[in-house]
Each structure stands twice: as structure tokens, then as C-alpha cells.
């Protein structure tokens, strides 16, 4: 028996109902239906099929164009061909957006007051009771908006024209299914073309694929964040179509004049990019692309003409795209031209309903080649009504041995060449007793909650009749603690914050506050910050209720970024020049986005208050934009907080002087009242008590004992129970210190006084200063006390540069310097800025000092951690206060406290 014989009863019903009008002869010789498929006779519906929806009941609801949007929508039964009128909405619903809610109701947004003028109205159609209800109005009118369902069942509504001026509604709004209200994405305001082709991506973002050439991402958390995606090859695809197959989006046709080109992007790739796929045989715009149960794409209708809706150059021959082979197959031609205001909809029995067009109420049904094959089609005897993501379920079938694919397709809701609801998923399966054990989608990220058609497909590509199933909504175990649009404390004043700003208790009350994304130069910022400085600082505190077991970080940055959690570095990019304030990024990028898991071997999180800190760097003073946004998602233990201990200091590599005072610090969770502390000087072989029954405050003042070792460890344990304990991650050193003066006043320096900018890397160790001059301090001009007189131009140069290398034999535990200067100075050690005076205007070569002074001598301590064993480079820039400044002075003394390893 032929598969197509299953439809004979349907055709007889259609004839009996009087819906058959005429059979339009094909313009070409009939092709073999097994290869080219077959069309039903042409019929007419009461209104045009401009908006078409496959309901969870298996029936089709549709409504028409222009004033037909005021008429009763129609309900059509694919099994019998019966038509009936539905209740009217109380306004014109033509040119609305639409998608299904998790419970199967149809959400309709906007409508048609007149061409290019929408309504702010929201209506919901219940397919089970065939009734309408009204929701709250949107912020403004929308004509041609797009609805997209989110993983939690909410729906984001984008674009739609508001008034006859052609203005689009720029505010994205999220329909919240749980409350029936809207949430505004106030920091994601953007002019997006109407009926945008958008999809829910595997990362939970909304991916805008067209019609513009530049794709974009929309994060709908909080108040929303847009950021740029890759550019497609073709310059605009107006009235082209787009579909999503698993994680891949296909852009098909469109443009003016229309194109036959096709592009694909894999949204699950680490760095998604568009790539060209095989083109269609004909250019098309106003086409429809329909996902089929076997994973192929049916492209039907459209025009090859350059006009908006050129019916003089119709493309009546459908084409079938196979993503696995990247090939197209021409199919049997349709009878009518399907262009502007047409629609195509997959039915549960595997056929495709096509109809509509401008002033056209005809309809015809296409049976793809898979329905024309010899033999019987596979059948599902039983399937669960509800599928839970992350689980497996049984599909009962007598045809398990011949099944090659199990697929899931969301119900179609299509208009204007784009289906706002449909998506295709291929499910893993195996044979089992009674049928197939099928793996449900991993989460609602890939399968948003709602109704789907479940198909089994045999080795010839023949699908079963679908079973309607509902994908349940599953609450994810991970929770967002920070979203991209969140508010941060930030410092863009151009002040070096050293390292204290990383501490949880750092006083950031003088810093500014702003919501993400933060930056300048891209016109998509929630907060615009200052430009022209190498480093901007960010801080945010969060509270965690329990131990973190998994975490993911999302960052949006330009050009370089480093992130710390409670002072522990967890992520960095383009920081090859170091994290010091004055150094620039080692590489550049444009609004890069990354999602990464955070390692938890040494868990940086703590129960209670946590601080997340970040710096963003520019690649140079001429960089024209800066971007920062960060999202943090964590999974935490459920239930009571367990007792844990984590030693935080001394934790590895520190150097202490015998008799010095320092602090032992630790973090804990649970209800421990006190802890015991112990010291090992032989890398854990033996232990000596430091103190017992110490109150569990997280800190204990410790006087370092009079020993000498490089194998010291500290242990913290629950009082009386060493089994619950934590030890320093690696040994630290206790040793006597020697004080040296590797640079004294009147030492010889390399210097550059020509007034030429030496470039951004002049302060780095590997910079080539072989062409620079040499001279002893003090160096300068204008005072008559210089050992080395520098050049002064007709206009006093703003910057003079000095460099000197020293050798360090051991670990530096403390460092200080004395600097003689006039007027401003900045000192770097191995590229890290350690000291500044009077350079508030910035360190760019052509900037003068921010204040003047006369041969000032300043002493200060500097960070010891910037020094390394072996060769070190000191670099100094001295600045004049202005073009007429008459004198300049520089000399420097450096003192180091050094211990050598044992």
C-alpha cells in the first residue's frame, strides 16, 4: 500500500464539503511523486491565510490580511477538511506577533489600526475552549512585532511599528507567564526592523539573525543588554526566511533584488560565525521555509522579481534542502503564486499547508516525497503526554527496528515569511522492550516549555503521524546572581588603586554607580564612562546562601579584562602586559563575549557576602570604545549549610621574617564555634600547635616563630577534630631579611629626552633602549645642579623617560624608594606602575603634569610583589607642568628587603 493512500479519505471529505474549487494544470510535465512530492487540488478559504497556527488540538487556526483581521478567525481540521468560524478578537489582529505559551494558549501581540500603525493590545486565544481573553496593553503600539519564547515560558516581544511616521517600538518587553504582566528591558532600547528573525539560542540569549546584515544578541535578564554578533555575508535579507535546526540557524533568500544564497550559523559553537551553504536554484523573497519531520527544510513560494511583491516572476517550484548533504532538490510546482501575506504550516500528518498571498484566499496542500514512498509509514502506539527535560521516556511502537530518527518540532505560528514559534530538535534514542527509549532535550534552553509534535522517522525518511506532547518547564538548578545589566560600583577617574581595591572590605563609597553594559563609543551602553585611560575598575557584592558547587561566568569586554572573586583571579583575557593601572592591554578585541565555567578546586566563593571585582583595559590611548558587562550563574548545595574550613593565609609562597606579626585567616561555613591552629616546618611531616580553641572569627594574630625554613605550612581544623581541616596550598618561607640599596642617588640611567614618543611599551622589560643616552643623577636642566644636563626644546617637552635594570638575588619582602622630581613623575617596576605624583591628566606622551613642584623629594613604600628574582626593570617618566616650564629634575634611590630561600 502506498503511504499517500492514507489521505484518500481526507480528499473525499474535502470534495463532499464543497471546498474544492478547481484543479489548476501544472505548467510542466508531471514528475514522479516519489521524487517531487504531490500537491492537493486548489481550494479556497473564507479569508486569506496570512497568519496560520497549528494548535495543540491538531487543528489549524488562521486569520487574514487588512480588514480581514476584523473578521472571525477560521478553524480548519486537517483530518476532515471541516471549516468553522471562531470568535472574533475585539480589534484588528492583522500584522500581529504571535507564539504559544507553555500551556498551549496563543499569545497575540499588537495589531493593525492602519498600514504602519499598530495597536498596543495583547490578546490570548485558548485552543481548548476556543475563546479569547485580553491581557494588559504593551508600552506602545506594535505593527509587525516578533514574539520569542524564553526558557522559563516567558515571551520577549520585539519591534513593531508604532505610528505612520515609520517609527518602530524600540523597547523590548517580556510577557511574564506567571503573572500575565510585562517586564520592560529599559537598558536594551534599540531600533530593530519590524518582524525581526530572532531565536532562542542555547546560551539563553535571544539571537537576532536578520534582516540586517549585522546579527546581535539580546540578554533578557534584568533590564536587558544588547551586544553585537557576527556579520553575515549578504547585505540584508528583507522578506527572506529563517529556521532553526537544533542549534543552527539558516538564513534563506530575501533581499532586494532577491538572492538565492543561504547562510548558516551554529549558535552552540564557542565563537559562532556565518558560513555560506549551497544556494537555491532561484532567488526568492516573500518565501516560506518550513521545517519537516525528517530534518529537511521545504522552501515554497516567493518571487524572483526586484519589486516588493513581484507576481510577474513567481517561483512556484518548491525546493527541499537537506542539511546533512548541503543539497537542494526541486519538487513539483504549486498551482498559485505564494508571495506577500502567504504562509506555510507543517501539519501533524507530515503534509504542509500553504495558502494566502496578497488578495488571495486559495489554499493547497503539499505532500513531500516521503509521503509518496511504497510501504507503510511507521506508527507511534503510545507516547507520554508530558516530556520532562533531562530525562528519558518510552515511545511505544511496533516499528522500533526501522526507526532512524526521533524528532521534535514546536508548533508553527507563521506569518510574513517567518515562523515565530517553530524549532526542530533531533533526539537521541535506543531500542528497548516495547519500543524506543528516547532522551528528552537536556533543558528548556533547547526546548522551551510548550507543545510539540513528536515524530519517528524510518530509514527512507518516512515520518509517522505526530503525537502531540508537552515539554514541561523545569526550574534550573543554577541561579543568576549577577546579570549583564546589573548595577556596579566603578572608578574611571584615572587613579591607580593598587591592590587594596580587591578586598571585600575596601571602601568604594567614593566610586560612581552605573548599570551594565558600561563603557563608551558603541552607543549601546547602559552607563557611559570616561575615556582615554588604560584601566577602569569595577566592584560588586553578592550574597550566597550556601556552598557553590558549580559556577559559570559570562563577560562582555573590550579590549582586555581580568576578574577576581574575593581577591582570587578567575578569568583574564589580553592581560599579557600585566594588571597594573598604567599598562595597556596586550591585545585588542571588539565587544567580545565569552561564557566559561569557573574552576572550583580552590573554591573562591564563601557563604555570605562575596565581592566580584574586575578591571577592563584599553589597548591604547587612541582606542575609541570600551565595554564591560558581567554575568555570574551559580549552583549551590541545598539543605543546611555544612561545616567547612578553608585556609586563606598564609597559603603559598609567602615570605615572613622571624618575630614579625601577621595574620592567619580562614573562611568557614556551618556552626563551628572554635578552631585549632598548627604549624609545620617540614612540609606536613610533623605539626606544632599554634593555638587551640580559637574563636571562629576567620582571623588570628600570629607572631612568626624564630625558625628558618622554606617548607612551612599552617593548618586550621575544627577544635578537637583534625579530620575537618584545611592546610596551606603550598609551603611558605620563614627567613631572615637583608636590606640592600640596588639603586642609590647619583646612579647612571638610560634616558630619552628628544621629545619623541617612545611608544606604549617603553616601560616593559623587553623594550629595546640601546639607542638611548646614558647619564648619572641628578638628571635635568634649568637649576645648575645637574650631573647630567638634559635637552630642553624651544617648547618644554611634556615627558622625559628613564630606564634602569637591576639584579635581585632572592625574594623581595619589602621595598621603598625616594624620588627627586620636578614637576610630575610616574615609576614602573617590570611594567607595573608603583608610584605617581602630579600625573592626574594621564600618562600619554603629550600630556603635561597636572600640578607643579620645585625639586620635591618624596619617600614612599611600594609593592614588593612586583619584583622577580633575577633581572628587573625600573622605568620612570618625568613630566613638565607646561610648555614654558623652565626646569626639570630627576633622581631616585631604591631600598629592598630581601630573603633568600632555604
What counts of helices (H) and strands (E) characterise the chain?
A: 2, 73
Q: How confident is the model at residue 21 (pLDDT cuts 50, 70, 90)?
A: very low
Alpha-carbon distance of 715 to 690, in angstroms, equals 9
Angle formed at CA 750 by CA 747 and CA 754, multiple of 5 degrees:
130
At 163, the pLDDT band (50, 70, 90 cuts) reads confident
Q: What pLDDT is recorded for position 30?
A: 56
pLDDT at 14 over 50: no
pLDDT one-digit tens code per residue, 211-241: 999 999 999 999 999 999 999 988 889 999 9
Q: Is the pLDDT of residue 20 over 90?
A: no
Residue 763 has pLDDT above 70, yes or no: yes
Residue 670 pLDDT grade (very low, low, confident, very high; cuts 50, 70, 90):
confident
Write down the pLDDT at residue 771. Answer: 96
Cell of 551: 559556577
Cα(855)–Cα(238) distance, integer angstroms: 68
**Residue 901 confidence (pLDDT):** 57
How far apart (Å, rounded) are the C-alpha atoms in residues 157 and 182?
A: 10
Lowest mean per-residue pLDDT among 24-28, 404-408, 564-568: 24-28
Cell of 222: 534584568
Distance of CA 56 to the CA centre of its chain: 32
Nearest in space to 632 (alpha carbons), one of 655, 605, 654 = 605
What pLDDT is stored for residue 736 in this prediction? 85
Write the DSSP symbol of residue 2: B
pLDDT at 639: 86
Q: How far apart are CA 129 and CA 880, in angstroms?
A: 82
Residue 724, pLDDT score: 93
pTM above 0.85, yes or no: no
* Grid cell for residue 344: 506555510
Task: Give pLDDT, residue 602.
Answer: 74
Coil/strand/helix, residue 501 = helix
Q: Is the pLDDT of residue 460 over 50?
A: yes
CA distances from 786 to 151, 640, 777 (A): 72, 71, 7
Q: What is the pLDDT of residues 415-426, one digit of tens each?
A: 999 999 999 999
Q: What is the mean pLDDT of the chain?
A: 93
pLDDT per residue as tens digits for the range 118-161: 999 999 999 999 999 999 999 999 999 999 999 999 999 999 99
Strand order in the sheet with 424-427: 274-277, 262-266, 248-252, 241-245, 424-427, 403-410, 450-458, 467-471, 386-387
Confidence at 110, pLDDT banded by 50, 70, 90: very high
Residues 889, 780 contacting (CB under 8 angstroms): yes
Residue 280 vs residue 622, higher pLDDT: 280
Q: What nine digits make up the cell of 291? A: 521545517
Q: What is the dihedral of CA 814, 818, 822, 826, to 10 degrees?
A: -10
Of 92-96, 197-201, 435-439, 696-700, where does mean pLDDT reach its minimum?
696-700
pLDDT over 70 for what percent of the chain?
96
Asked if 566 and 610 count as a contact pair (C-beta separation under 8 A), the reply is yes
Contact 603, 544 (CB under 8 A): no
According to the model, what pLDDT value does residue 524 have?
A: 85
Mean per-residue pLDDT, 864-873:
94
Give the pLDDT of residue 780.
Answer: 96
- Which CA distances in Å does 433 have to 387, 394, 397, 398, 635? 19, 9, 10, 10, 37
Q: Who has greater pLDDT, 794 or 295? A: 295
Q: Over the stretch 773-830, which tens digit does the pLDDT of each residue have?
A: 999 999 999 999 999 999 988 889 999 999 999 999 988 988 999 999 999 999 999 9
Amino acid at each position: 500500500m502506498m503511504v499517500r493512500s492514507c489521505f484518500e479519505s481526507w480528499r473525499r471529505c474535502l470534495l463532499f464539503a464543497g471546498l474544492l474549487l478547481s484543479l489548476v494544470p501544472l505548467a510542466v510535465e508531471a514528475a514522479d511523486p516519489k521524487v517531487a512530492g504531490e500537491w492537493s487540488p486548489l481550494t479556497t478559504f473564507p479569508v486569506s491565510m496570512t497568519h496560520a497556527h497549528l494548535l495543540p488540538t491538531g487543528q489549524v487556526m488562521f486569520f487574514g490580511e487588512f480588514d480581514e483581521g476584523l473578521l472571525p478567525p477560521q478553524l480548519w481540521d486537517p483530518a476532515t477538511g471541516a471549516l468553522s468560524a471562531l470568535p472574533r478578537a475585539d480589534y484588528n489582529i492583522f500584522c500581529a506577533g504571535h507564539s504559544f505559551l507553555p500551556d498551549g494558549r496563543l499569545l497575540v501581540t499588537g495589531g493593525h489600526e492602519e498600514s504602519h500603525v499598530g495597536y498596543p493590545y495583547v490578546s490570548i486565544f485558548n485552543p481548548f475552549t476556543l475563546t479569547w481573553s485580553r491581557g494588559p496593553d504593551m508600552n506602545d503600539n506594535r505593527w509587525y512585532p516578533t514574539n520569542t519564547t524564553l526558557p522559563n515560558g516567558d515571551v520577549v516581544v520585539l519591534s513593531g511599528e508604532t505610528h505612520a511616521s515609520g517609527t518602530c517600538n524600540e523597547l523590548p518587553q517580556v510577557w511574564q507567564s506567571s503573572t500575565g504582566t510585562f517586564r520592560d528591558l529599559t537598558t536594551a532600547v534599540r531600533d530593530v526592523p519590524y518582524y525581526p528573525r530572532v531565536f532562542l539560542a542555547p546560551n539563553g540569549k535571544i539571537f537576532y539573525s536578520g534582516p540586517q546584515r549585522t546579527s546581535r544578541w539580546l540578554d533578557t535578564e534584568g533590564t536587558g543588554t544588547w551586544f553585537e554578533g557576527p556579520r553575515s555575508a549578504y547585505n540584508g535579507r528583507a522578506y527572506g526566511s529563517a529556521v532553526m535546526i537544533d542549534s543552527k540557524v539558516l538564513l534563506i533568500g530575501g533581499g532586494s533584488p532577491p538572492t538565492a544564497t543561504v547562510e548558516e550559523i551554529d549558535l552552540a559553537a564557542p565563537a559562532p560565525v556565518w558560513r555560506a551553504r549551497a544556494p537555491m536554484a532561484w532567488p526568492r523573497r516573500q518565501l516560506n521555509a518550513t521545517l519537516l519531520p525528517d530534518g529537511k527544510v521545504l522552501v515554497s513560494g516567493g518571487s524572483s522579481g526586484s519589486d516588493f511583491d513581484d507576481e510577474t516572476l513567481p517561483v512556484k517550484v518548491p525546493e527541499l534542502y537537506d542539511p546533512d548533504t548541503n543539497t537542494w532538490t526541486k519538487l513539483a510546482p504549486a498551482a498559485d503564486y505564494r508571495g506577500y501575506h502567504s504562509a506555510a504550516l507543517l501539519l501533524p500528518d507530515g503534509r504542509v499547508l500553504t495558502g494566502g498571498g496578497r488578495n488571495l484566499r486559495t489554499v493547497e496542500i503539499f505532500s513531500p516525497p516521503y509521503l509518496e514512498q511504497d510501504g507503510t509509514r511507521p506508527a507511534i502506539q503510545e507516547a507520554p503526554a508530558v516530556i520532562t527535560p533531562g530525562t528519558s521516556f518510552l515511545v511505544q511502537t511496533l516499528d522500533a527496528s526501522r526507526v532512524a530518527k526521533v524528532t521534535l518540532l514546536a508548533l508553527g505560528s507563521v506569518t510574513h515569511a517567518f515562523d515565530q514559534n517553530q524549532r526542530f530538535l533531533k533526539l537521541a534514542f535506543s531500542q528497548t522492550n516495547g519500543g524506543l527509549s528516547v532522551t528528552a532535550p537536556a533543558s528548556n534552553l533547547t526546548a522551551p516549555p510548550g507543545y510539540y509534535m513528536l515524530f519517528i522517522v524510518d530509514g527512507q525518511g518516512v515520518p509517522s503521524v505526530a503525537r502531540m506532547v508537552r515539554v514541561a518547564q523545569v526550574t534550573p538548578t543554577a541561579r543568576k546572581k549577577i546579570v549583564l545589566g546589573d548595577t556596579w560600583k566603578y572608578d574611571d577617574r584615572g587613579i591607580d588603586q593598587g591592590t587594596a581595591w580587591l578586598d571585600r572590605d575596601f571602601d568604594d563609597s567614593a566610586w560612581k554607580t552605573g548599570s551594565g553594559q558600561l563603557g563608551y563609543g558603541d552607543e549601546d551602553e547602559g552607563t557611559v564612562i570616561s575615556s582615554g585611560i588604560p584601566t577602569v575598575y569595577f566592584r560588586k557584592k553578592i550574597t550566597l546562601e550556601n556552598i557553590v558547587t558549580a559556577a559559570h561566568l559570562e563577560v562582555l569586554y573590550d579590549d582586555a579584562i581580568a576578574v577576581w572573586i574575593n581577591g582570587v583571579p578567575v578569568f583574564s583575557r589580553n592581560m599579557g602586559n600585566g594588571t597594573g593601572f598604567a599598562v595597556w592591554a596586550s591585545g585588542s578585541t571588539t565587544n567580545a563575549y565569552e561564557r566559561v565555567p569557573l574552576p572550583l578546586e580552590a573554591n573562591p566563593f564563601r557563604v555570605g557576602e562575596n565581592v566580584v571585582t574586575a578591571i577592563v583595559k584599553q589597548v591604547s590611548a587612541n582606542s575609541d570604545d570600551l565595554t564591560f558587562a558581567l554575568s555570574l550563574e551559580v549552583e549551590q548545595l541545598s539543605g543546611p549549610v555544612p561545616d567547612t574550613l578553608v585556609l586563606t593565609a598564609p597559603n603559598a609562597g609567602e615570605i615572613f621574617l622571624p618575630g614579625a606579626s601577621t595574620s592567619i585567616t580562614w573562611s568557614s561555613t556551618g556552626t563551628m564555634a572554635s578552631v585549632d591552629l598548627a604549624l609545620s616546618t617540614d612540609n606536613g611531616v610533623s605539626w606544632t600547635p599554634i593555638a587551640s580553641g580559637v574563636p571562629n572569627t576567620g582571623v588570628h594574630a600570629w607572631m612568626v616563630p624564630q625558625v628558618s625554613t622554606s617548607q612551612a605550612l599552617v593548618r586550621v581544623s575544627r577544635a578537637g577534630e583534625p579530620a575537618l581541616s584545611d592546610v596551606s596550598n603550598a609551603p611558605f618561607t620563614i627567613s631572615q631579611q637583608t636590606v640592600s640599596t640596588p639603586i642609590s642617588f647619583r646612579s647612571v640611567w638610560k634616558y630619552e629626552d628628544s621629545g619623541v614618543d617612545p611608544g606604549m611599551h617603553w616601560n616593559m622589560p623587553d623594550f629595546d633602549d640601546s639607542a638611548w643616552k646614558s647619564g648619572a643623577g641628578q638628571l635635568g636642566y634649568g637649576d645648575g645642579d645637574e650631573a647630567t644636563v638634559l635637552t630642553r626644546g624651544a617648547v618644554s617637552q611634556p615627558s622625559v623617560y628613564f630606564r634602569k635594570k637591576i639584579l635581585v638575588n632572592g625574594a623581595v619582602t619589602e621595598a621603598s624608594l625616594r624620588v627627586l622630581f620636578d614637576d610630575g613623575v610616574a615609576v614602573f617596576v617590570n611594567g607595573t606602575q608603583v608610584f605617581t605624583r602630579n600625573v592626574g591628566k594621564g600618562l600619554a606622551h603629550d600630556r603635561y603634569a597636572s600640578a607643579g613642584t620645585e625639586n620635591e623629594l618624596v619617600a614612599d613604600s611600594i609593592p614588593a610583589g612586583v619584583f622577580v628574582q633575577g633581572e628587573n626593570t625600573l622605568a620612570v617618566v618625568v613630566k613638565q607642568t607646561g610648555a614654558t616650564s623652565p626646569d626639570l629634575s630627576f633622581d631616585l634611590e631604591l631600598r629592598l628587603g630581601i630573603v633568600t630561600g632555604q
